Amino acid sequence: MQDASIFARKHRGKGEEDAALTDDDQDGLQEEPGSVGSGTESSDMPRVVPARFVLEARPPESLRGYADRATVTSDGRHRWKHQEWLPLHPQDMPLFLGDHESQTYRTIIDHFNVVDPLNLRFQSSGDTTYCNIFVWDVTRAMNVEIPRWIDGVKTWTNSIYDWLIDPEQGQYLGWESVPAYAAQEVANEGYPSLAITEPRLGRLGHVAMVIPGEGEIIGSTFYPMCAQAGKTNFVGKTVYDSLSFRYRKVDYFINSHAGYQFISPEDSSR
């Protein structure tokens, strides 16, 4: 397993506005009118302002910017170029006002159109798959971003696992390890939930979103419903249906906090 300490950042003591969200902070979240997403006009509905967390989660300076805008089909499906190294443009992101409901979560999943073979962003290339890019986009849309970049280095599934369990990173930001059935229950309440393989030396991992649904018991094991990008992209099958999970140790993480956003170290000092 990669040493999680390489991702550690000392953020305590920078002031409350730069600290990650804790249970005591939730009552202090501000609300402001308006939101962005899918090119919509600003809404009069209030949205939760996420807590700020200091982390260099941008691509290297030579690669910064946004992915090209999506093309939208006549029936409203979004299709992007591959460009897995770039975040999606804010106007291509789904509308999210911090309302954690089952239907809202499923609408966000469907927005990214992961099952469309003409949506190149999530299509595998040879043995290379982009499960982490789908998870990046969904969690970024829900204000609990799993970073694609840390200090100019791409994250992959194994390093994402280390980041999630790091007490000064993902764990501090509200990511919590839970049993499979709890991940399904939390997803059914509209909060982001993940299924992810435990790292094994020399072997690539896999990660997927646990989504609202019933799940399935096979033998004595409960498998939640999920959506994934991988060798096969799907929405609405169980974790057992993913061959990338079936013969691996799978852990589950949830985040039921109000959210966070990354700011760069240089911006935090302004």
In this predicted model, what pLDDT tens digit does every residue of 209-251 receive, in sequence order? 999 999 999 999 999 999 999 999 999 999 999 999 999 999 9
Model pTM? 0.83
Give the contacts of 123 (CB within 8 A, at least 6 positions apart).
Answer: 82, 117, 130, 229, 233
- pLDDT over threshold 60, residue 5: no
Domains of the chain from N-terminus onward: 6-268 (3.90.1720.10)
Task: Please report the pLDDT score of residue 35 as a whole number.
Answer: 38
